[in-house]
A and B are shown apart, each in its own frame.
Chain A
Amino acid sequence: MNAVASVVRTVEATPWVMPTLDYTLLAPILIVLGAGVVSVLFEAFLPRSARRPAQLTLVFVSLVAALIAVINLQGSRATAGQGALAIDGPGLILQGTVVVIAILGALLMAERGLDPSGDAFAARASSLPGSEDERQFTARGYFQTEIWAFFLFAVGGMMLFPVANDLLMMFVALEVMSLPLYLLAGMARRRRLLSQEAALKYFVLGAFSSAFFLYGAALLYGFSGSISFPEIATALSSKTGETGLVLVAIGLVVAGLLFKIGAVPFHQWVPDVYQGAPTPVTGFMAAAVKVAAFGALLRLLYVALGGMRWDWTPMLWVIAALTMLVGAILALTQTDMKRMIAYSSIAQAGFILVGVIAASPAGLAGAIFYVIAYSFTTIGVFAIISMVRDNNNGEATHLSKWAGLGRTSPFIASLFAIFMLALAGIPLTSGFIGKFSVFTAAISAGETWLVIVAVVASLIAAFFYMRVVVLMFFSEPTEATATVEIPSVFTTIALAAGATVTVLLGIFPQPLLDLILNAGVFIR
């Protein structure tokens, strides 16, 4: 990958210079991608029975090692790989968050205590849904362990995404992140047709959006003669007169990234995929992709297009307002828990965009805080969704099955209520601090009207979050009310971490806010 970037860069320079790679700065990414390669080898050479323990050990050891490597880099502020990557404060915080979320996501994916027939993934992805093959594989107790290789590559891509400092690296990161996710989305054990349809939609639309990004990147290169963000910024500020295609280029590049964060009108894949994908994958994806993609979007907008902010803020204003309102309004009439959370995640992306639009250090810090808080809450939400089961031991995703859950399982219902309050932005939860920081940043940047729209959208959103709470605690349990299965230690840890961070950041947000503020801005 670096070679590609270097080649492009050295086209004009005649002598071939060996690119210098700073391995310390790249260590976290290399650890995870290397572990992905080892994971593939495990699949090829280890006997079936040994794969799961080996893969799980590999995943957790490599992720923890990557986390240590990230922490070890704190305070770094340099570019690596001939300027293709920028290892700076915000980048490292986002990388660290991705790794932690990945650990929690892996815990959810490793769970085998909830579905009596195994884990959340199909016994054999290649078997046709409903076929004799499928029954056979299920009956023999087959499990897929290939998911861990996909998972590690996806995490590697996510870690690369927010530190990518040129267009090509960003595109590579985007694809390395997305391709394994398309596959993972199609591997649900139950309701496989829905899952496969979701995966296909995600893939086709994702490819479509990648095309937007690539086309925009080509135009930007054509304009500036460089793919590096700082050099694009220089070109944009020096060639002020020539606009024309630059605006198209910016629009297309940004559209490609807006697809990944699920902003309106690039959002329609979100509910279908969130509903169809295996719940642990949805949880991981909903949390980690948001972190990585917002990191990338922030870096692109603040570093490469920082000089153009008067051009892109009104555009993003429209997108953010649409995203918040459409997400919140559409969530009102959803009857499926996963779809409702999907629309909620669309609205949340709109709230984070409010911080992006502020285009200030405060806005950057607010957006990063928000996305971190949101990702932990989301992991907790999906952990609980995977635990709430109906009579057939499938996930009870229909809202009516949650009625009276507060009576039958008060503890889990209370945790879910906390998550709902956090998503609604009620004080003493992380969601309130997140909303407060992005809204104040936007107001000091003069975006009062956008904040008013955001508050209206919050009000609408509060309705459906509270409806779940009311449903759980103020309705009588019925025959159809779901039961809460007791998970193994994996999901328990993930749930506990999600709940703890959600409450802790609501009461003591200052340490994290300080950390983000001290990390400074993106390196230019």
Chain B
Amino acid sequence: MQEVMPATGVFSLLWLLIALPLVGSAILLLGGRKLNKWGAYLGVFTVLIDAVIAIAMLIAMMGNSAEQRTFSQNQFSWMFAGNFKVDMAFQIDQLSMVFVLLITIVGTLIHIYSLGYMSHDPDKRKFFGFLNLFIAAMLLLILANNYLLLYVGWEGVGLASYLLISFWQIKPTAAAAGKKAFIINRVGDVGLGLAIMVMFVTFGSVGFQEVFGSAGQASEGTLTAIGLLLLLAACGKSAQFPLQAWLLDAMEGPTPVSALIHAATMVTAGVYLIARSHAIFDIATTAATAVVIVGVITMFMGAVIGSAKDDIKKSLAGSTMSQIGYMVLAAGLGPIGYVFAIFHLLTHGVFKAGLFLGAGSVMHGMNDNVNMRRYGALRTAMYVTYATFIIGTLSIMGIPPFSGFWSKDSIIHAAFESNTLVGVLTIIAAAITGFYMTRMAAMTFYGKARWEDDVHPHESPKVMTIPLIILAIGSTFLGMGLLFWGNIETWLEPVVGIQKEEIAIPEALLMAITLVLVLAGAAYGWIQYARREVPTIAPRGSWLTRAARQDLYGDVINDTLVVQPSFWVSRFLVWFDGSWIDGLVNGSAAFFGGLSGRLRHYQTGFIRSYALSMVGGAVLVVLALVLVRLS
């Protein structure tokens, strides 16, 4: 276990990381119209300062030895009741550090991009207020030193996500999507809540140090229960099977939101939760296996959905599900995979943010049309968007030397170290990734123009393209940088541990097989969608395509298994409430009202009856005393 250092120096600003965007959002949301002019800049400013502080912290942390990189800051005792005590305390270590960097730096870029993307929106101030709220909640989630505080952040990001998905709530679909995300997330949140309660009952504490320190003493059954509950929580937040249905609808939100919340940061909170709780999953192997299974299923579901959707954002959303599936399965592999799960999370955060912002840039030039069948041949019309999008595409496909290659290859390697079957499955999913990403790029930028009338594609303003360029640079070099220069493995090793196993086939051969399959997938996509004519009306397609267009019947399953039964239960409860509870309440009200009416008659207004009552009272008092003495 690492040494916990008091937060001095730059780390004494830990609270400020959260406070800055929180205050920013409070000012923006409560400030009123007066702030409309410069409010958005305030929103950008708070996150920018956060990013600067985060980088300063990274430098300070690198100056310490590996065992002395955990810093804790106790603000005040938050609540205590009996032996239940929770502090408002923050903690930063190597794992939190990389998250803080991802959130603040990518967050800053997306804030800047939003200045352009939302420039004409009348509710721009509110939008930046919500974005700041999200950043504050996400940082709280990452910096909490106990599960209860983490839960506050967890709920906070859920709230911000809800508010931002339904930001254009004037559209019924957006309003419905927000509700759907919120409600499905509640299921996962209940899992986290129960996990915290079980922890308190088992360990007597909800602090990370205390829980992980005594995890070895708990029974495996208890730890498995905690692990499965945490997995349920992760499934909700990270859109993993079976709680995946909300993410595709969440694309109703403004595109910067999809980039920030539903690609780079919030949806990876589940991976963070599992990696953070590794001490539990290391012992509860059954729960860890469940994590792998969930990851594998979602990895394929996402890939299939991503291959079939014609909506560019939904296709990217499917891809996000699939990539997070990679991370979750890697996290489920235990010490073999934690580091690479986080590694892929970081590179994915950057290239997927770039891809989403690129999609946003395309939509910006195409009158907000999202249908890729109406795109085509856009590479000349918006060159910067095109170039950065292609870099992102190569990165996510895992083509060397782009970032995604290094992280995805590490996961595939780790999967083979653990289990050959899982390894093979990750390679197949990589091939599908090659197909759907090529399909997306080809339909958008190549082939013939299938634009609707009076659409005049144009490049986006600099405030949007510069973040794209920065993210494209990240998509290119971040993987190599983290692996070779940043030594991500040794950096994270003190927190989550690391373990290496031999695998049967040589490493180079594995890499080559993977590459060949990815390229085969890409080639098939290219032939299908760049060489051939893309019909503007989607053809009927195979049964799999049709199923994937329906989100693999996720909604139907939800509707049959959850929504309809809930309706029945609520109808029963309404009936029960109406006829029994109300009857009881009204009945007792009528009873007491009647009693009151009877008793009123004794208040005659005559002084003689009052005096009689007092005599009766005195007799009662004396009698009661005597009776007690006699008995």
Q: Which residues of A contact B (CB under 8 A)?
A: 200-201, 204-205, 208-209, 212, 243, 247-248, 250-252, 254-255, 258-259, 264-266, 268-269, 271-272, 310-312, 314-315, 318-319, 326, 329-333, 460, 463
Separation of A247 and B618 alpha carbons in the complex (Å): 12
> What are the 6 tightest A-B residue pairs by CB atom distance, in nearest-first order?
A251-B622, A315-B624, A265-B617, A333-B596, A251-B621, A268-B610
Interface residue from A201, A247, A463 paired with B622 (Cβ < 8 Å): A247
Question: For window 366-384 of chain B, which residues contact chain A by CB distance below 8 Å?
Answer: none
User: Smallest Cβ distance from B591 to chain A, in angstroms?
Assistant: 10
Contact sample, A vs B, 18 pairs, CB 8 Å cutoff: A201-B610, A205-B607, A208-B614, A247-B626, A248-B622, A251-B622, A251-B624, A252-B622, A255-B617, A265-B613, A269-B610, A311-B625, A311-B628, A312-B625, A315-B621, A315-B624, A329-B595, A333-B597
Please indicate the chain B residues that have their CB under 8 angstroms from the CB of A266 in the complex.
613-614, 617
| Proximity string of chain B (605-631) to chain A, C-beta cutoff 8 Å, 1 when within and 0 when not | 101011101101110111011111100
B37 on interface, CB distance cutoff 8 Å: no
Interface residue from A208, A314, A329 paired with B596 (Cβ < 8 Å): A329
Q: Nearest chain-B residue to A319 (Cβ)?
A: B621
Are B618 and A332 closer than 8 Å at their CB atoms?
no
Q: Nearest chain-B residue to A248 (Cβ)?
A: B622
If A201-B607, A212-B614, A319-B621 are given as contacts, then 19 extra A-B residue pairs at C-beta distance below 8 Å, sorted by A number, are: A205-B611, A243-B629, A250-B625, A255-B618, A265-B613, A265-B616, A266-B613, A268-B609, A311-B625, A314-B627, A315-B624, A318-B620, A318-B624, A329-B592, A329-B595, A330-B599, A332-B592, A332-B596, A333-B593
User: Smallest Cβ distance from B146 to chain A, in angstroms?
Assistant: 25
B589 on interface, CB distance cutoff 8 Å: yes
Q: Nearest chain-B residue to A215 (Cβ)?
A: B618
A250-B625, A314-B628 known; A330 vs B617 contact (CB < 8 Å): no
Are B599 and A463 closer than 8 Å at their CB atoms?
no
Separation of A24 and B607 alpha carbons in the complex (Å): 44
Please indicate the chain A residues that have their CB under 8 angstroms from the CB of B621 in the complex.
251-252, 254-255, 258, 315, 319
Separation of A268 and B601 alpha carbons in the complex (Å): 12
User: Smallest Cβ distance from A319 to chain B, in angstroms?
Assistant: 7
Separation of A400 and B605 alpha carbons in the complex (Å): 23
Main secondary structure of the interface of B (DSSP, over half): helix
Separation of A269 and B606 alpha carbons in the complex (Å): 10
B65 on interface, CB distance cutoff 8 Å: no
Interface residue from B592, B603, B616, B620 paired with A271 (Cβ < 8 Å): B603
User: Smallest Cβ distance from B561 to chain A, in angstroms?
Assistant: 39
B600 on interface, CB distance cutoff 8 Å: yes
* Most chain B beta carbons < 10 A, residue from A204, A258, A333: A333
Please indicate the chain B residues that have their CB under 8 angstroms from the CB of A255 in the complex.
614, 617-618, 621
Are B607 and A204 closer than 8 Å at their CB atoms?
yes
Please indicate the chain A residues that have their CB under 8 angstroms from the CB of B610 in the complex.
201, 205, 268-269
Please indicate the chain B residues that have their CB under 8 angstroms from the CB of A252 in the complex.
618, 621-622
Separation of A271 and B621 alpha carbons in the complex (Å): 22
Separation of A332 and B596 alpha carbons in the complex (Å): 7
Are B628 and A310 closer than 8 Å at their CB atoms?
yes
Are B605 and A258 closer than 8 Å at their CB atoms?
no
User: Smallest Cβ distance from B577 to chain A, in angstroms?
Assistant: 18
Question: For window 306-357 of chain B, which residues contact chain A by CB distance below 8 Å?
Answer: none
Are A258 and B596 closer than 8 Å at their CB atoms?
no
Are B599 and A251 closer than 8 Å at their CB atoms?
no
User: Smallest Cβ distance from A500 to chain B, in angstroms?
Assistant: 25
Separation of A89 and B531 alpha carbons in the complex (Å): 95
* Most chain B beta carbons < 10 A, residue from A204, A258, A330: A330
User: Smallest Cβ distance from B609 to chain A, in angstroms?
Assistant: 8
User: Smallest Cβ distance from A264 to chain B, in angstroms?
Assistant: 8
* Most chain A beta carbons < 10 A, residue from B603, B613, B621: B621
Are B605 and A272 closer than 8 Å at their CB atoms?
yes
Separation of A258 and B613 alpha carbons in the complex (Å): 13
User: Smallest Cβ distance from A213 to chain B, in angstroms?
Assistant: 11
User: Smallest Cβ distance from B304 to chain A, in angstroms?
Assistant: 52
Please indicate the chain A residues that have their CB under 8 angstroms from the CB of B629 in the complex.
243, 247, 311
Are B618 and A333 closer than 8 Å at their CB atoms?
no
